Each structure stands twice: as C-alpha cells, then as structure tokens.
Structure 1
Amino acid sequence: MAASALTAAAVFLLFHGGVLGFPAGQFTRDEPACGYKSCPATKPSMLNVHLVPHTHDDVGWLKTVDQYYYGDRNDIQHAGVQYILDSVVQQLQEDPARRFIYVETAFFYRWWKQQSAKTRQVVTNLVNEGRLEFINGGWCMSDEATTHYSAVIDQMTLGLRFLNDTFGACGRPRVAWHIDPFGHAREHASMFAQMGYDGFFFGRLDYQDKGRRMKDKDMEMLWRASESLAPPTADLFTGVLPNGYNPPEGFCWDQLCSDAPIRDDPDLEDYNVEEIVKKFLNAANEQATLYRTNHIIMTMGSDFQYENANLWYKNMDKLIRYVNAQQSKGSKVNVLYSTPSCYLQELHRANLTWSVKTDDFFPYADDAHDFWTGYFTSRPALKHYERLSNSLLQICNQLEVLGGSESRRGPHGEGDSDTLKRAMAVAQHHDAVSGTEKQHVANDYAKRLSIGAAHCQVLVSNALSKLSGSDAPRVYCENLNISMCPLTESSSKFSVTVYNPLSRSVSWSVRLPLNGTRYSVTDPSGREVDSQVVPVSQATRDIRKDRGYAVNELVFQVQAPPLGFSTYSVSLLNDHPPPASPNPGVPLYLQNKFLKVTFDPDTGLLSSLSNLETKQTVQLKQNFFWYNASVGNAESSQASGAYIFRPNSSTPVPVSLNAKTQTVQNSVVQEVWQQFGPWVSQVVRLYQDSRNLELEWTVGPIPVGDYVGKEVITRLDTNINSSGLFYTDSNGREVLERRRDFRPTWVLKQTEPIAGNYYPFNSRIYIKDKEQQLTVVTDRSQGGSSIQDGSLEIMLHRRLLMDDYRGVGEPLSEPGEYAKGLVVRGRLLLALTPPAAAADTHRPLAEELVLQPLLSLQAEDMHPNAVLEFSGLQAALPPAVHLLTVSQWDRDSVLLRLEHQFEAKESQTHSQPVTVNLQKLFSTLEVVGVSEMSLAANQWKDEMTRMDWKGNTGEKPLKRGTGDPSVWEVTLNPMEIRTFLLRMRHR
C-alpha cells in the first residue's frame, strides 16, 4: 500500500489491529471494572476516611537496588521488596475489601519475572478488580530538582509500557504519586498532565507553606503548570498529604513499628478498642478541619513496609470494623479501604472550585534552618555522568532505528539499548541523581550506567558499520576531558566519526590527546580543516596522573549533519617543532568576531564581557569561593549534609584573590589558564567561531585537613541591574522567575539568607535588566542563586564532615582517587545578549550540552567506498523543533516525539506554531502509518480523557488524521510535545 494512499481506517488498523504486537486489551475502549469503576461506596452524610495501604520502596538509597529487592545487607537497613509483594498478594486474597497500591515498576518488573503462571493469574485478577492498583507507574519515583525532562519521560515510558503490556488498561495509573521527593518542579506537573494523569499527590512541602495552607484549608489545589500550553493541557489537580507518607501518629502496624496493636478480646488484659477508636476519631476529625470536603486520605504505610502484611491488614480490618460500629451511636465517621484514585474521584464529585498555583515548590525546608538545597549539587560527578549517559542513550536509540536489525546483531557483536534504558531509569530515582545515597550505592548507580553504555557502544558500532560501510573496530574514549585516549596517544593516523543526535547541523570543538606536534585533518570531502596542537595543561596532568601520557592536544572544529555523522581523517606530519609553551602573565583580552573578554592585569580575573554584534559590554568579575559548612550551632543543631545546605556565614571565603595565568592563542582557540590554588583551576576558553565564552572549571580534592567542610561556588559579579530577580529552568524546559527572599504563595520569614535563596537549575540560570541578559548554561544539574543584585553564584562541589540527619547516615565526602577526595571538572557557557534575543541563543546552546555529539575512532584505514557523511533526516528541522525521541518500539514501529522548544512569549522569531511533515522526515525510512499517543506513550491520544476541574476550559482531544495529506502534517505550538507511533519500513 502506498503511503499516500493510506486512509484513516487503514492507519487505525495498522495500529489497533495488533500489527504492532500490543497485547490484547492494551488500548481498548471498554475497560474492565477496575480503576474508578471499582471504587468502594462512600457515605455522603459522613466524613469518609480513605485508608490507603502502601509501601514506599526506594530504588536504591542506603542499599543498592539489588540489595533492597532481595533483602540483602539488612545490617544496613531491614528491607526486602520481594517479600513485600509476596505478602501483600497473599493478604489481598483473604478479603475482597482490602486494597493496596504499588508504585515502583523497577521492583515489580523483577518480581513479576520470577512468578509462576498461577501467581501471575492471581495478580492479574487483583489488578482487574481494582484491588491491587498501580500508582505513578514509572520505573522509579524520580527526583524533581536534578532530573532532565527527557530522562524523566523515558523512565516513565519504560515503567508504564511494562504495565500496559502486562495488564492492559487496568494496569494504567490514574494518579501521580511523588510522596518522597524533596521539593516539586512545575515541569513535572506539566509532564504528568500531558501523560494523562487526573491528579498528583505528594508529601513534602516547605513548613511555612504547609502551615499557611493548613490554616487556609488550601491543602489541595489546581496546579497550572505551564505558561505556554493552553489550559487545561498542563493543569493538574494536586494534593498535599497530611502526614507526609506515614500513617497518623499511633497507627503504624508494620513489623518495623512499635505502636500498640488493637487488642480486642475483653477477657484479656490491656483491652484497648475504645482507646484506639477514640484516638482515631480525634485524628480523623482534626485532619478534616484542614481539608475542604467530607473525604480525607490516610497513608497507611511507609518505607519498605508490608513484609509481613498480615500485621497491617489484621489491625486495619479491626480499625474499620470498630470505628464504623460507632455509627450506630451517632458517629459521623466512615472508614474504608481505598486508593488515591478513589479518593480523587470523590474530590472530583464534590465539584468545588480550587485555588490555582502557577509557580513551583522549591526550595523545600522542614524547619527554620533546614533547607534541602544542598542536593541540587551533591555528587556533581555522578550528575554529569548521568547527563552524558542520557545523551548516549538517545544516540543509541536513534541508531537502533537508522541502522535497522543489524545494529543489534552485527559485526561488532550483540548490542542493545535496553540495558542502558533501565540503568538510566534507575538513575532518575530521588536518591540517585539527587546525590542523597550512600557512597556504595552511588558507585552502584555509576556501574549500572557504565554497563549500559558498553551495551550501547556495541549497538552504535554495528549501526555505524551498516550506515558507513566500514566494519573496522571503533573505540570510544570516555576520558577526553582529562586528555586520555590510548588510540590517539599512540597512533599516527586515525579517523574520527562525529555523530550528531540533534535535528539540526552542529559545529563542535574536538580535542584529542596525542604526542605529535603537527597533524593534517581532512573533512568528509577531503578538504583540509584548520587544526592546532596545544600542550596539555599541568592541571590536567595532575588529575590523570599515570593513566595517560599525551603531552599535547589536537584541537579542531567539526561539522555534523542532523541526526547523522561526519568522518574526519587525522594524520601525523613529521618534523615539526613542538607547540609554543603558554605565555605567562595576564593577557589584556581574548577576542573573536563575536565576543571580547578582558582580564584585570593585577588579579588575573575576568573583568568584562562584550558582545561585539550587539555592541554590549557588561562588567564581569568571576572568582571561586567556599561556604564554611555548618556543623550546628546554638541557633540550631542542623549541619550541612547530602540533603541540607547550611553555611555558617553569609559571606563566602575566596579560594584566592588572584589567579596565576598562562595564555594559549592560535587560529582555532584562545585560552587563559587560571590557577587559583592547589585545588581550584580554570580555563577561560574562546573558540574562533563561538558566540559563547567557555569556563572549564576544576575543583578538588577539597581540603578538609582544617576540619571544615566546604561548599564551593563560583560567583559572577556584574553591573546588570537585576532588581532582586533571577531565572532558572525547570527540568530543562520552561523558565521560572525567582525573587530573592520571596515566595509567590505565602509571606516568607527568611531564616537562611543563602540556602533559603538557592534553587535548582538543570540547564541554565540568568539575570537581566532592560538592556542586557547574562545567561549561564551548565553541563549538569546544579544549585544556584543571585544573593546580590547583578550577581550569579553556582555551587560546583561539596565536601562535608557531618551527616545532616536525614537518614543517609554518612557525611558527603566522596573519596575520589586514593581516598584523598574527589576531583570534579565541568563547563559553564556564558552568553551575553539583549533579553529579547536571549532565548534564540541559550536554548540551542543548552540543547547541545544535553545531547552532545558522540565521537568514535578507528585506527584502520577506511574502506575506499565507505560513506563519510550521512544524515538520517531529509532536511534539518526548523530551529524551534527538537526531535526529542526516536526509539525502536518493536520490529516495525518507531516511537517519535517532536517538541516545540520555545515558550509562548520567549522569542520574537521562534515562538510561533511550526508544522512538520512526518513523511518528509527521514532520509532512509518511509513512514507508512501513524497514530498519536499520550506523552508517556501508554494511551492513544484521542482516547485520553482526564477529569475536568472547575475553572478549566475543557480539553479538546486531538483527533487522528484522515486520508488527506494533512494526516502527515504535525503542527507544534510553543512548548508542545507530540508523541507518535510510526509504522516504518526502510526505503
């Protein structure tokens, strides 16, 4: 069937007819009696108390994910997830009134694989009856501060797809459930809304915010989570749970608890039914005063509870029976087993008008001096490794599609993307990339990413062999940031293939360690490329020690086509003198045709930055400082730790007032090497054709021989009149305005002037006035602030000597090499622009750091007929469009996400609707079927219905196209992500 001849019916059948291998009932219009249909009856004239049996199972924290599943290392923490699921399933069969919710698909997936057919059938029946209900449903419960939206969408898709494949419609969660993350991001709420969730419940919010909400009975609200997407697209009903995620005080009946059981035999000593009933009625009525309807929710469970579910259910059965028995005596309290979905349904039936929230829930504090803002930066090396792993995973996914089946089993062995998908999904957990886990668990997360990367590298090699026609072995050098690559260090001739995962061409700077002094570099067409050799800095030699021996680096610019690769040839030229040694002393300035940066001749520090295109200059002084980490004082015993940032002074200590400088300048790059002391250095770098200034910082090992923990920042002080405002992105997407010492929804009593003004940023932070905007783009998630007008500070690294008493039980003091402390290196990119044009610069810049080109090297000569340049797209996509996902779904279908990456009023040029033709997208693949899905790809878009909360305008579902050419035309509005399942065939 010709693609142009596809009718709407044919498109429908291609997907709904089972061709794609979906299990029966996965996307059906008629659901069994699960979900809302299975909710128990309530009593309108009474206070209905919804008991929600649940367990909170961290996908790694004090123990690794494997140790938690098996119940290993109980000397650290008693927890065994497999036993929880065993016990709960057994107890649910005892009484049809009992309910249970489960959240972390990563654990359930493992457990399900080990079950017999009989047990699987029992569980399926429980799910179909709505008695075992999946909530949230992602692979993990992700962190909200330090995660990038693309990785969050991937991990949610992974978990939700498994539930769909296994249980069909009854396995689809209706409620998002983030009971433990330490603050809540607006972008997460937007994503949950676009995934089809009806509501969102969480446990943690700032103690002052919670106090105000309790007083005003505003514990539940409508969260309008986007300023660009028309309501109700990103609207999400949101509720604050009354007790975090724990049961009310005195009603914990797990084997880990010490509360008294219900002793209901009057012939025995310590009969306590009346006492328990009275206490529960008091708790219920007190909680009811904080909420607006005659329904309240109680979370009956906590961390890793229900290993012996009989304890919980036996006591809850009694509680329900004895409390409800009081109704005959005039009590107006009705207790029932329930789920968050059933509770949400009752709130919806109440038909109230809810308050609207438009900001986020950062930063989070649980007391006056206890701000959970340290984890925005904790474990910065792991945060960067996770970011690089995300980039590799997207490349792996793309090449699996472009390379076809040979990419999985090809000349370089068997490769797969699944191993890295699962490792990346685990890494999104709120005690993983957040940096709030024990050291041995952090090591395990990194190990999983490394194993996944190795699997993907095989797949990438196979795909590139298929697409290029060259089977020569490929090498991936993962330590180029410290000038280590055995192949380039020892070879006189090699090739470099640069794969670009973006949907537009990129120019990228390549730096390769080697020992020669002059090289010839040619592009795919054989043209000579300007290249220069520079010496390896002493700071880099100190970091790598004896793990590499290159004395120089080859620097050159590469161009790579959209969703494709370019191959460059590098050959050693003999008999050339060594590169010039760096010039000591402070240079007056560095300059290319776009930027000029000046230095203070007395201090060696930056002094100004100029945009030569717009004729703007900003005073810019940059230096490194550290906050003295509190170990507690008379005001509060709170210490800085993995979670908490608490400096003991508002004035940071400079590492040095001066920098020793050396300068390297050539036709490709200009660099100033700054040494601030034995443990802090930086390279100020300006490439020839760059519109941004690069600051490559190196911090560590942080010295603690003085018994002082240190929180290291870099601060940029300017003359920009920022008026107390600064701006941070939310999970890499929309930007939120921050005002110093201010919260939009309550009157803040500021008790920590530094930590209380810190916010997470995932890709960029900036300050501006009417004329100028200074944007800093980062290569990992970090914490930052503007403590003074015209100033930006970014926390880079932390090394602490105390635990902060939030459960991790050890100081954040990463050992690094030889247990002397971790050395971390990273990059900040600075852009100076007029505010109206800033987004046009910093959004593509941030995109390039999130999805970096991948370098692969070959030592053997290329096949004479090898393809040296390839693009998977027919043409570059418009600048506003980002190709967010290209991933193999099954043998004949591909998951595609297209994203408009600009906000509604952000860019005069790009904040407009954009249309893309799906059939004109790929160069080697033909699209012969298309159907639109929810953001998480677990529902058909036109079947996705959500609860409409009063105040909404009502959602109009997108309809599947017809047989005319418009079926292939996809229009994207600002900040819109559209998800498609494409039926493909190779041309």
Structure 2
Amino acid sequence: MFSKMATTVHTPFVLLLFQIGVFSLPVSQTPQESPTCGYKSCHAIKPGMLNVHLVPHTHDDVGWLKTVDQYFYGARNDIQHAGVQYILDSVVDQLLKNPDRRFIYVETAFFYRWWKRQSGDMQDTVKQLVDEGRLEFVNGGWCMSDEATTHYSAVVDQMTIGLRFLNDTFGPCGRPRVAWHIDPFGHAREHASVFAQMGYDGFFFGRLDYQDRSRRKASREQEMVWRASESLVPPVADLFTGILPNGYNPPEGFCWDQLCDDPPIRDDPDLEDYNVEDVVSKFLTVAQEQAKVYKTNHIIMTMGSDFQYENANLWYKNLDKLIRYVNQKQVNGSNIHVLYSTPSCYLQELHRANLSCPYFPMRIDDFFPYADAAHDFWTGYFTSRPALKRYERISNSYLQVICNQMEVLGGPTSRNGSFGVGNSDTMKKAMAVAQHHDAVSGTEKQHVADDYARRLANGWTQCQVLVSNTLAALSGSSAPRVYCEHLNISVCPLTESSTFDPEVMWVFRRLCSTSLQVVPVSQATVVVRRDRGYAVNELLFQVRAPPMGYSTYSVSLLQKGPPPASPFPRAPKDIQNKVRAWRFLKVTFDPETGLLSSLSNLETQQTVRLSQNFYWYNASDGNNKDSKQMSGAYIFRPNSSTTFIISKTAKIETVQNSVVQEVRQWFSPWVSQVVRLYADSRVLELEWTVGPVPIGDNMGKEVITRFDTSINSSGIFYTDSNGREVLQRRKDYRPTWTLTQTEPVAGNYYPINSRAYIKDEKDQLTVVTDRSQGGGSIQDGSLEIMLHRRLLHDDVRGVGEPLNEASDLYPEGLVVRGRLLLSLNPPAVAANTHRPLAQEVVLQPLITFTEGLLPPNTSLPLDFSGLQTALPPAVHLLTVSQWDPDLVLLRLEHQYEARDSKEHSQPVTVNLQVSPLPSTFILLTGLSPSYRCAVCLSGEKPLPKTKGDPSVWEVTLKPMEIRTFLLRVRLR
C-alpha cells in the first residue's frame, strides 16, 4: 500500500486515482478530433497502380556539429548551414499555398521553441494546418533518441515531454501515429517495445547493416512485424516496422533543397534546357526499381534530409511539378501514381492491403551492431565520451530519485521556498535533449558535448534549490544544504573545512557496513583530483535510507581515537566478507602478479577462475591493408585483433577493516583500480580509473578491461536492451541472416547499457556497469568492456574532428573513473541479483550536507518515507512526477522478464488505495504516454472512481509490463 501525503504542510486533501493506460496522456480537455486530420487526411490512391508516397520532411539534429541554440537560430553557419526557425517559417508559408501539400515534423524540442515565438494568429494558422492533416507530427519525442546508449527510463521521459506538449497544444490531431527513427545507428528491441506499448501503429527507420539490407532487398523483406518482447503477450509489443529505401534521403537526382545540386524541373517547352521528359523518365525508372524490393503496390520516398526546407519553395515547386507530370503519363498507359503523403498514410495503405500476417516476416532480435561497409562497424560510439555518458546517467538518477520526488513531496513549497525559486523543468528538458542520437552517444563535436554538460549542470542547480526547499519544509531545518558533486574523487569542501581536525580530514565516499571506519584516500585519487581537494582520509559508515524518503546523520569528532587503517604494500592471498555467520564472497589474488585469480560465492559454494586485466586496441589510422576506414567517434576499428596489455603485474596496496577490504592496484601511471569488498555485500566492486590515455606514440587507443573465466560460454554472451530485457549474443552470428564476418572484434561488439553476462549450466558471471559501454565476448569464457577511447583521426561520418578529449583541468587528456559490479550466481537465480542491482546503480541516492550538529534532544524528524510499506520485489516505482498543480504522474513496472526467475517472474498485484498520512508530504509515482490499442490489447479498462470497494484499487502487473496512473489531489 502506498502512503498518502499532502502537498503543503498541514493541508488535508482528497486523492482520486485515474488509470490512463500503459503510457497514455489525458485528453479530456481537448476538442474532438477534426474529421480531416490523421488517417482521414490522406490523399486518395489509385488501386491497381504503383502508388508512390512522397514524404516531405526535414531531419533536425538536436545538437551535433552545432549546439541546440546554434541550430535553432542559424548561428555558426561557418560550421554548418542550418537554421531550424527558418525551416518552420518557410514550411508553414508553403503549406498555405497548396492544400495538397504535406509535411511531417519530428523534433518537438525545436518546434516548441518556434511555437512560443509565434503570434496568436500564426498559432491559429498552424493549428488549422494540423487539424487538416497538412502538417503532421511523427515520433513526437523531445528528440529522436539514440537507441544504443540510452536507458529506457530517460527515453520514456523525453517521449512524454514531447507528446504532452503536442497533446496539450493540438489535441488528438497532434498525436503521432508512427515512430520515426531515421538516423540512429542501429535499433534496439526495447525501443520498439516501448513504441508499441505507447500505442504507435508503426515504426520506420533508415539505417541497418549493409549485409542485412542486401538480403532483405533480395527477398523483399524490408517491411516486417517486430515482436519486441519475449515477456509481453502478443500483440502488446508487436510493431509493424519499415525500412526506408534511401536511408532518409531523396532518390538520387531528386533533391531540390537549396543545399542540393540536382537540377530543377524546367517545364517551359520554349526553353532550350526543357527537361520534363528526362526527369519523368528517370523517376519512373527509380520507382519501378524500388518497387521490386517491396511487397505491395505502395512505396515510400523521403523527400528531404538534414536541415532541409529552409527555402521550402524550392522543394514544393518542384514536387508539385513532379506529381503533375508523372501522373499525366497515366493517359499514355503508365501505372505509376504519385501523391503527397505521410508515413502514417503510407502505413494505412499497407494495412488496407489486408495481407495475411505471414506476408510480412517476423523479427524477434534487434538491429545491432550496425555496419555500413565491410570494415565499418558503428560500435565505437557505445563507449565514446565515457565521462558525458556517466554524467547523463547520474543526472537521470538525480532527476528521477531526487528532483521529481522532492517536487511532489514538497508541493508548491518545493518550487518557491526559503532557498529561492527552483524547478524540475530545466533538468527534464536538459535530460530530454541529452537522449538525442548525437548527444549521449558521444558523436558530437567537442563544443557541443560541453554544451550538453552545461545544460545538465543548469538542471542540477535548479533541482538543488527545489530539493533544499523541500527538505527544509519536511525536516523543519532551514540550514543551508551543501551538494558535493565530486565525491567519487573524495572532494567536498564542507567536510574538508576547519570544522574537522586537520589531521582527520573526513569526506563521504560510499555509505556502507555496520560500523564507522576511517580509511586513507588512495594515491590514485589524490592524483586525479589535482588541486580540487585536500582530504587525506575518508569516513565510511552504514546508511539505511527509507524508500522514497531520507535519513539524517550527524558526524563529529569526539576524540582523535585510533588512527585510520594503514595500507600495506602486498597482495593478500584472498579477501572475503561475512556478517555474523553469513559468508558471502571470496576473492583470491595471484601473489606474483597482484591480479585477480578467482571469485567464489560462498553461499552457493561456487568458484570460477577469474583473471582480469587492462588492455588497449591500436585504433586504425586508415593505413590498414584491408580498408582505409579509421576509428572515430562512431566507428570502432582496431588495426588487428591483437590487444596490448598495459601491465602484466600490478603494484598493490591493501586496506582492510570491519567495513571494507580494498586491494588498490596500479597498472601504469594512467590505469589504476580498487578491488573493493564491503562487509555485507554480495557483489564485488571494481573502481577503475583510466587516463590521460597517452598518445605520444601517435597511436589512438581503445582501452578495455577483460575478464577471462573458466565458464564454458560456448561463444554466447548476453546484454541488456536499454536497461530492460536481455538478448542473447553469439559470436560471428546474426539470428535472422547469414553473417560474413569481416571485423572479428568490432563486429562482435554490442551496447551494454546496464549489464552483461556469460554463463554455462552451473555458473553465471554478471557485470553491471555504471554507464553505457560497448563490449563483447571475443573468446569463450571471456567478457570485455571498453572503458575509454582516445583517437587521433576522424572516421569520416560527419563530425569532422577526432575523439581526443581534454579539459582545462586535464589538458593532456581526459581522466575517467567508473565502477563495475560483479556477481556470481547459479543461472536459474542470477536475475534475482542482477536486475535489482542494475536498478540500484541507475537510481542512486543523493547525499547532502549541512554544517553544524543536531541538538542532543532535537525534535526534528531524522527519517522520512513516502511509502507506508515497501513494494513487492518484482515491482519497481519507475516515475513519480508532478504533472499539474493537482496531478501526480505515477508509473509502476514489473521489472522481471517472464523467463528470469521462478520466484519473481509471476504476475504481481499491488493495492493502490491510499490512506492519510501526517502533513508535509505527498504521494509520488510514475511512467509515460499511450495511444493505439495498448489498453484494448491488454483487456484493461479505466479504473472507476472508488466507492469504498478496495478491489478497484488493485493493479496486476505481468512480467515487463508498465502501467501509468494520474493521482489527482483536491484540497478540502
């Protein structure tokens, strides 16, 4: 049962619950759908003819070579000529001139900016265009998100922001009916599952592996049904999926943008360069050739590309002529009919063809990795810009766990309280922009990556004010809150101040264990932080924060006491942990090398040989004999399959006490690691530090860590898809087509968003990551993860600069620190550990500090929880977010797959009925939006308003199911 909390202190309220489907948005305030928008707005086709659907569109990256602002305003055209505001101005003007014309728009972040700057008359004009289906929104998210390096919770959020704006502004006519991911570099099954559950009728994309496309063309299988979940009962996660014929560009010779060189249609017969017959003849040939690789008498052509239609008159004048002159050929026996269309209108005609399901093949895997040529695998961006990837991940955690929840708990006080005006919107929009396929992917120019980070930092600042306001209201303490954002390198100015004894400089690193201990800061940390801090010791003690709440602790130096544990410079034979009679893990080391040698789960009596080290691949500089392709931001291409070991031995320093056992390893001046085992933990933590990656030898380096084990994995390993369902990967193999492997390393790399594992019948070794990374199992029993990349060449995919990161603090090259968590379990129960562990890493708590001590007999509340009772282990509170002043968005998910766990992979019923709590807080919960038949397909109906019958509040979640609700708060 969830607790009920008030939005303001001492304010009673009534809480009403409405179910809004899997992802659906409320539309009760919007007018009835216009009779001409949506599918009703589609132009008539001609049965028996080849119908060519022309789709005018622009693809507007929300940052790439220029920042978001620069793209919108058209600044820095010396980098790239692009101005989104002018595109929208021009398109609207041209749509008004001919009611037959159509246009689709995708990136809501840009449209939202443009819309706010329009007059009321212009807004009314645009609404009319939308109501008539002449301007149609597709996809509808704040951006077109990356599919490899994004976490599903952040993807759902960015979709929600965009879709909500479209719904609030245009009502049902603004609702996208198709998902449109024309530019991402490979496609994740979880994205398709989310789109299906959100109610989209279809999904179109442009990029897939060149070998896969070739086979699909030959067999006319470029359109399919994607079964995007092995847990959700079909057809809940089934989605029609189409592969566009030219990526997302026009057919060759038919680009009429100001950025293009193709000749316009010259239709004055008195002129010497009249070319109508040539253009029409060429178009008929192109259409007929394209029809050969699709199954129906309908084909689609994307008429537009990156940042096109800034002068829309060029496009539309020529498209008008093309349609007119091609269709005139029908009187001479041509069977080709051309029309302005949209992806949804094209999809409608495929549906009307009434083809049996086997007519379109079924797809059950994903579209990774993506290659556009034999040696050109786009698997480098799985790891590119690892620091930005980590910053995006912890920003998502801060938004979900702290900012959103505190805004709900504090109500209006959170946004305007004793510490000023704060909000969650800045962080929500910054996080939404960061999901773009050239943002968290790491495939942007450096100055753009800096801009993404700046936006996230601004979001943190606004959220910190909000959190301070809420904590002040909830705790009754108005002491200023201090947010230490560099705890991973033991930097916190408040705890390093003169308040503490200068010989015992304490900072918080990780909250753990059952007793308080002081340990010395490692030398690696001292080197990494440079002049940003001077703490010499770290304070460790256990914290048990209640769910959706907080705990308060006071730390003071009562006496100097015993000195901190002193490190000793030798490798231990082993380290192991236990609490009372319970023994958990044992880790052994090779005494000669100082490296890991085995891992044991003492509870299950499992032991595997486990060696780990750090290596690097020599990045191709384009002089390889097989290809001139270079490694870059997108593409991972080592010169060979050979790895270069950084060191065969590690220098060792060991720290052991009742809280933690640490083996600190130094492999080189630029690679170190802490092997860390907490007293009560069932996982082994490896904290790695890599950088500055040396390039004095003129070699770009792709740095990995590799785990070699005794597990008989038979060429198979497993990775998650955007943090949710897990897919099997087999070396040199693709489930739906016969692979000719040309890159034995890069061609076997896959995105790891939160976890990967190898297993045999007895043992499963799982590695949980703290950010998105690339990895593979190149040898049986081996699992490698790429940690850092520093390259000297551009890979000629548009970004135009090498991935060679530095900063003011690290001018000689970026230093990156991260964590990997290892668990060893029997395969049948491994998910019981790695699923909640992955969620725990993604959604971490926040530590805040205040100066001064609590009074001995304080009446201030030291603990608070927003939940009366804990949720069942299989149920995860995905989102809690303020929707409107009196509405809270609640999303619950079943976090286990159907095959995961005998114990947890069962339907779970949760009672949502709430009861009053003391004032100060409000209930929180949440997820995203749904349309199509997501509710119909699952047989669900909206929950009725309660009449005292507790059964109406019961919600049953099946494996991998997400349910969304709105909570309405009414003041008495």
1:520/1:754 Cα in 2 relative to 1: closer, same or farther (>3 Å)? closer
2:894 is matched with: 900
Question: Where does residue 876 of structure 1 map in the other structure?
Answer: 870
The equivalent position to 1:382 in structure 2, one of 388, 404, 424, is 388
Determine the C-alpha separation between the residues in 2 that align with 1:763 and 1:228: 19
Identify the range of structure 1 (58-67 vs 344-353) with the bigger mean alpha-carbon deviation. 344-353
Contact 1:491-1:859 at 8 Å conserved across structures: no
- Read off the aligned partner of 2:715 and give its amino acid letter: G
Mark the CA change 1:730 to 1:921 in structure 2 (over 3 Å): closer, same or farther: farther
Please say if residues 404 and 882 of structure 2, whose CA atoms lie closer than 8 Å, have aligned partners that are also in contact: yes
Of 86, 90, 95, which aligns to 1:87?
A: 90
Match of 2:397 among 391, 399, 402: 391
Partner in structure 2 of residue 499 of structure 1:
none
The one-letter code sitting in structure 2 at the alignment partner of 1:364 is Y
Aligned AA (1:440) = H
TM-score normalized by structure 1? 0.92
Matches within 5 A, 1:88-103: 88-103=91-106
CA distance in 2, matches of 1:711, 1:650: 12
SS at 2:929's partner residue?
Answer: coil
Q: 1:566 aligns with which of 551, 559, 568?
A: 551
1:419 to 2:422 alignment? no
- Partner residue, 1:660: 651
Q: Equivalent residue for 2:474?
A: 467
Distance in 2 separating the partners of 1:485 and 1:519: 9
| Distance apart, 1:384 and its partner CA | 0.2
In the other structure, the counterpart of 1:611 is 601
Task: Give 1:402 deviation, angstroms.
Answer: 1.1
Kept in 2: contact 1:198–1:946 (CA 8 A):
no
Query: What is aligned with 1:795?
Result: 786
Q: Identify the residue that residue 651 of structure 1 maps to in structure 2.
A: 642
Q: 1:139 to 1:681 in 2, by over 3 A?
A: same
Counterpart check, 1:597 vs 2:587: yes
1:537 alignment partner AA: S
Check if 1:440 corresponds to 2:447: yes
- Measure the CA separation in 2 of the matches of 1:282 and 1:233: 40
AA of the residue aligned to 2:819: R
Q: Hey, what does 1:582 align to over in structure 2? A: 567
When structure 1 is superposed on structure 2, of 320-329 and 538-547 the one drifting more is 538-547
- Name the aligned partner's letter for residue 643 of structure 1: Y
Partner of 1:739: 730
Alignment deviations for residues 657-715 of structure 1 (CA, whole Å, 9 cap, x no partner): 11000100001000000000010000000001000000000000000000000000000
The aligned amino acid for 2:166 is L
Aligned counterpart, 1:916? 910
Q: Which runs of 5+ in 2 are unaligned?
A: 5-13, 579-583
Letter in 2 for 1:88: V
Q: Deviations over 1:390-435 (max 9, x none)?
A: 0111121111111111111111111100000000000000000000
In structure 2, which of residues 508, 518, 540 is the aligned counterpart of residue 533 of structure 1?
518
Identity of aligned residues (%): 73
Question: In 2, are the aligned partners of 1:143 and 1:428 still within 8 Å (CA)?
Answer: yes
Asked if the contact 1:559/1:566 (under 8 Å) is kept, the reply is yes
Q: Structure 1 counterpart of 2:482, which letter?
A: V
Q: By how many angstroms is 1:958 displaced?
A: 3.6
Partner residue, 1:363? 369
Partner of 2:332 in structure 1?
329
- Residues 474-507 of structure 1: per-residue CA shift (max 9 Å, x gap): 00100011110000111547xxxxxxxxxxxxxx
- The one-letter code sitting in structure 2 at the alignment partner of 1:485 is C
Amino acid of the structure 1 residue aligned with 2:874: A
Q: Secondary structure at the match of 2:705?
A: strand
The answer to which of 976-985 and 915-924 deviates more is 915-924
User: 1:351 Cα deviation (Å)?
Assistant: 1.5
- For 1:622 and 1:961, the matched residues in 2 are separated by 56
Cα distance, 1:315 vs. partner? 0.3
> What SS does structure 2 have at the residue aligned with 1:663?
strand
Structure 1 unaligned regions, length at least 5 = 5-9, 494-513, 949-953
Whether the 8 Å CA contact 1:198–1:947 is kept in 2: the answer is no
Report the equivalent of 1:500: none
Between 362-371 and 456-465, the greater mean CA deviation after superposition: 456-465
Q: Kindly state the Cα deviation for residue 580 of structure 1 after the two structures are TM-superposed.
A: 3.7
State the 1:968 CA deviation.
Answer: 1.0
Which residue is equivalent to 1:502? none
Residues 698 and 75 (structure 1 numbering): CA distance in 2 closer, same or farther, change over 3 Å? same
Change (3 A) 1:609 1:218: same
Match of 2:933 among 945, 961, 967: 945
Structure 2 residue matching 1:712: 3-state secondary structure: strand
SS in 1 for 2:819: strand
Letter in 1 for 2:693: I
CA 1:135–1:515: 2 relative to 1, 3 Å: farther
Whether the 8 Å CA contact 1:470–1:862 is kept in 2: the answer is no
Tell me by how many angstroms 1:32 deviates: 3.7
Q: Following superposition, which runs of at least 4 residues in structure 1 exceed 6 angstroms of deviation?
A: 10-16, 20-24, 518-521, 925-930
**Per-residue deviation, 1:810:** 0.1
* Paired residue secondary structure (1:675): strand
- The equivalent residue for 1:622 is 612
CA contact (8 A) 2:866 2:922 kept: no
Cα pair 2:513 2:659 within 8 Å, conserved = no
Would you say 1:485 and 2:492 are equivalent positions? yes
Say if 2:276 is the partner of 1:286: no
- Aligned residue for 2:287, secondary structure, equals helix
In structure 2, give the amino acid aligned to 1:362.
F
1:373 to partner: Cα distance:
0.1
Deviations 1:89-108 (A, max 9, x none): 00000000000000000000
Distance 2:385 2:750 in 1: 17
Using the alignment, how far apart are the partners of 1:839 and 1:183 within structure 2?
Answer: 26
Q: How far does the alpha carbon of each residue in 1:338-376 deviate from its partner, in whole angstroms, 9 at most, with x for none?
A: 000000000111112221100000000000000000000
Alignment of 1:548-563 (within 5 A): 548-563=533-548
Is residue 838 from structure 1 mapped to residue 830 from structure 2 by the alignment?
A: yes
Is residue 518–residue 533 contact of structure 1 (8 Å, CA) maintained in 2? no
Letter in 2 for 1:705: G
Give a deviation string over 1:435-471, Cα, whole Å, max 9, x none: 0000000000000000001000110111111111111
Q: Say if 1:519 and 1:583 are closer, same or farther in 2 by CA, change over 3 A.
A: same
2:796 to 789, 797, 805: 805
SS across alignment from 1:51:
strand
Q: Does 1:936 align with 2:928?
A: yes
Q: Which amino acid aligns with 1:79?
A: A
Q: 1:447 to 1:518 in 2, by over 3 A?
A: closer
The answer to whether 1:157 aligns with 2:164 is no
Instruction: Write out per-residue CA displacement over residues 876-912 of structure 1, whole angstroms, 9 at most, x where no aligned residue.
Output: 1011010000101111110000000000120111111
CA distance, structure 2, for counterparts of residue 204 and residue 120 of structure 1: 35
Contact 2:880 2:891 in 1 (8 A): yes
Match of 1:234 in 2: 237
CA offsets, 1:636-667, max 9 Å, x none? 11000000000011021001111000100001
Count of aligned positions: 942
Specify which of 78, 82, 102 is matched with residue 75 of structure 1.
Answer: 78
Report the secondary structure of 2:193's partner residue.
helix
574-583 or 701-710, larger mean C-alpha shift: 574-583
Give the partner amino acid of 2:969: M
CA contact (8 A) 1:642 1:811 kept: yes
Give me the whole-angstrom Cα distance separating, in 1, the residues matched to 2:922 and 2:445: 49
The structural deviation recorded for 1:982 is 1.2
